[in-house]
């Protein structure tokens, strides 16, 4: 059986394309009592593609019907023996599918607010081209290479295999993220998403073409990972707008100074923490009587011993802000600080936005005191450009880098640090504090400022 195309057409000027067919019937009332308030029903029927050479249309079977009436609040349209279809604005489009040239009755009713109505019956002759073949039942499947429960966005190769199928299709066209169509005769297509490292959403549109070059199409959006070299063992690419991924992050909440005389209250509110435009944005705000911000942590969700951490971030420029990308030992709840150990991959003071700090803290068992070792490095564009802040951590040392340039190294094994905490699991923390020991004085005119993070990646 042939399938006929149901097209949507752009209506050109009536004088060129549209045949307006007026019924010879007259308006009549459904209520002979004369109490109707709706009146003056006028109906026009336009057959798409009608002209002098094609008085019954272009073969698509499409008609546009418009009805107007005084005091009408709704309209009903019945095509042939079909069910009545409602339209509040009096405009409707219908496609006749019976092949050949056929004449149909179109019954139009206009209803008043009281439920009263008047009606008109129009006749129209429409031609449907039986030679048009339109594909149907188009499906698109995408198989991301390396996909499994542990790798929901693939293995990092960026390779995706697509398969499209449709009844009566003889070829297919694929468009990736709005690019030009690539043709496939059998519906299969392989594409490698390698323009941007990380995880990105991509829109794939496939068009199924018939032997008469008529078509249908469908689109799908998928997330695909691509990495140069080995992919990270854990990452957040912040590619989905909304709240941070709850599988990766939880929050520290509340006020109390956090051991450093900090001035902010941490929240999980969208005004303080949100993912948008491919970035995690942690925003410190003045609330009049105080300040709010946010502190995310992977505690209880992801922790690790040894590896490399890369965080691409742009830091807040306002004085008084204290951004930090850091880690605490996972035994913090039982051992407390500093016995759990702390690794500060990046901290920045509130008074010098041209430098960042790398620091480690631990408990010195030799003299029962807190021990620290830290260095700073110049990052002149830390607040205007993104930089990659990195940790390289193994069984013997901790190294901290900015844009792959090392500025900090410390021996961290138990031989150099008795009872070293740096041989056990740590979790990641991201936050912006206000004031306190490294934030310093907060200007009276401070309103808000943000740390923006492009990604967090952890490699073995």
One domain, residues 214 and 352:
no
DSSP annotation of 293: E
One domain, residues 28 and 116:
yes
Q: Give, in order, the Cα–Cα distances in Å from 58 to each of 108, 209, 340.
A: 24, 20, 78
One domain, residues 108 and 248:
no
In a domain, 321, yes or no: yes
Lowest-confidence pick of 82-86, 237-241, 246-250, 252-256: 82-86
Q: What is the CATH number of the domain that holds 19?
A: 2.60.40.10
What pLDDT sits at residue 36? 59
pLDDT tens-digit readout, 406-435? 999 999 998 889 899 999 999 999 999 999
What pLDDT sits at residue 16? 31
In a domain, 6, yes or no: no
pLDDT tens-digit readout, 45-95? 999 999 999 999 988 888 999 999 999 999 999 999 989 999 989 999 898
What torsion, rounded to 10 degrees, do the Cα atoms 223, 227, 232, 236 define?
A: -40
pLDDT tens-digit readout, 358-369? 999 999 988 899
One domain, residues 212 and 246:
no
pLDDT for 28 beyond 80: no
What pLDDT sits at residue 398? 98
In a domain, 42, yes or no: yes
pLDDT tens-digit readout, 94-151? 988 788 999 999 999 999 988 899 999 999 999 988 777 888 999 999 999 999 998 9
One domain, residues 265 and 393:
yes
One domain, residues 376 and 433:
yes
What torsion, rounded to 10 degrees, do the Cα atoms 428, 431, 434, 435 define?
A: 20
What pLDDT sits at residue 62? 87
Say how many domains are in the chain: 3
pLDDT tens-digit readout, 209-242? 998 888 999 999 999 999 999 999 999 999 999 9
In a domain, 143, yes or no: yes
pTM tops 0.85: no
Q: What average pLDDT score do residues 352-357 get?
A: 98
d(CA 241, CA 197): 18
What pLDDT sits at residue 425? 98
Structure tokens at 175: 């468009």
One domain, residues 41 and 188:
no
**Domain end point (choices 184, 203, 226):** 226
pLDDT grade, residue 22 (50/70/90)? very low
The answer to whether residue 46 is catalytic is no
pLDDT tens-digit readout, 257-302? 999 999 999 999 999 999 999 999 999 999 999 999 999 999 999 9
In a domain, 299, yes or no: yes
**Domain end point (choices 83, 111, 128):** 128
Q: What is the CATH number of the domain that holds 377?
A: 2.60.120.200
- Three-class HEC string of 86-141: EECCCEEEEECCCCEEEEEEEEEEEECCCCCEEEEEEEEEEEECCCCCCCEEEEEE
Catalytic residue among 122, 237, 347, 452: 347
- Beta-carbon contacts of 75 under 8 Å, excluding residues fewer than 6 positions away, are 67, 69, 86, 87, 88, 89, 90, 92, 108, 109, 110, 111
One domain, residues 296 and 389:
yes
Instruction: Say if strands 264-266 and 291-293 run parallel, antiparallel, or are unpaired.
Output: parallel
Catalytic residue among 122, 237, 342, 452: 342
One domain, residues 103 and 156:
no
One domain, residues 399 and 366:
yes
One domain, residues 257 and 348:
yes
* Lookup result for tokens 């991301």: 144
Quick check: helix, strand or coil at residue 174? strand
Could you tell me which residues are beta bridge partners of residue 426?
304, 329
CB 420 within 8 A of CB 278: no
DSSP annotation of 41: E
d(CA 200, CA 194): 10
**Domain end point (choices 226, 254, 273):** 226
In a domain, 4, yes or no: no
In a domain, 2, yes or no: no
The answer to whether residue 342 is catalytic is yes
In a domain, 277, yes or no: yes
Domain span at residue 94?
14-128
Could you tell me which residues are beta bridge partners of residue 309?
391, 458
One domain, residues 122 and 163:
no
Q: How far is CA 366 from the centre of its chain?
A: 53
pLDDT for 5 beyond 60: no
Query: What do you get for the CA distance between the two ends of the chain, in Å?
Result: 59
């Amino acid at each position: 059986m042939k399938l006929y195309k149901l097209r949507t057409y752009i209506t050109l000027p009536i004088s060129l394309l549209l045949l307006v067919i007026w019924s010879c019937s007259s308006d009549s009332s459904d209520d002979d009592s004369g109490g109707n308030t709706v009146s003056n029903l006028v109906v026009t029927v336009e057959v798409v593609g009608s002209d002098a050479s094609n008085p019954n249309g272009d073969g698509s079977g499409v008609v546009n019907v418009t009805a107007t009436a005084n005091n009408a609040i709704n309209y009903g349209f019945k095509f042939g023996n079909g069910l009545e279809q409602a339209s509040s604005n009096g405009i409707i489009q219908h496609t006749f599918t019976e092949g050949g040239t056929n004449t149909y009755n179109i019954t139009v009713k206009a209803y008043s607010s009281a439920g009263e109505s008047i009606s008109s019956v129009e006749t129209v002759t429409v031609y449907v081209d039986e030679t048009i073949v339109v594909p149907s039942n188009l499906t698109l499947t995408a198989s991301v290479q390396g996909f499994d429960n542990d790798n929901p966005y693939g293995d990092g190769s960026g390779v995706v295999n697509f398969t499209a199928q449709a009844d009566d299709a003889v070829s297919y066209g694929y468009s990736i993220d709005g690019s030009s169509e690539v043709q496939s005769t059998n519906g299969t297509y392989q594409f490698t998403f390698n323009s941007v490292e990380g995880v990105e959403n991509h829109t794939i549109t496939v068009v199924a073409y018939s032997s008469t070059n008529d078509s249908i199409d469908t689109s799908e959006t998928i997330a695909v990972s691509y990495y140069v070299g080995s992919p990270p063992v854990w990452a957040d690419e912040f590619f989905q707008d909304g709240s941070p991924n709850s599988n990766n992050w939880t929050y520290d909440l509340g006020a109390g100074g956090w051991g450093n005389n900090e001035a902010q209250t941490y929240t999980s509110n969208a005004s303080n923490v949100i993912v948008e435009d491919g970035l995690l944005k942690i925003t410190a705000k003045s609330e009049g009587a105080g300040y709010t911000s946010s502190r995310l942590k992977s505690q209880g969700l992801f922790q690790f011993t040894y590896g490399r951490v890369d965080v691409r971030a742009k830091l807040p420029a306002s004085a008084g802000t204290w951004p930090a990308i850091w880690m605490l030992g996972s035994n913090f709840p039982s051992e407390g600080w500093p016995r759990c150990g702390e690794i500060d991959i990046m901290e920045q003071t509130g008074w010098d936005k041209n430098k960042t700090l790398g620091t480690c803290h631990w408990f010195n068992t030799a003299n029962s005191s807190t021990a620290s070792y830290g260095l700073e490095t110049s990052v002149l564009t830390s607040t205007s450009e993104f930089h990659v802040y990195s940790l390289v951590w193994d069984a013997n040392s901790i190294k901290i880098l900015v844009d792959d340039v090392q500025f900090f190294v410390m021996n961290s094994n138990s031989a150099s640090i008795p009872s070293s905490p740096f041989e056990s699991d740590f979790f990641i923390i991201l936050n912006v504090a206000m004031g306190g020991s490294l934030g310093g004085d907060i200007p009276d005119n401070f309103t808000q400022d943000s740390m923006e993070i492009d990604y967090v990646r952890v490699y073995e």
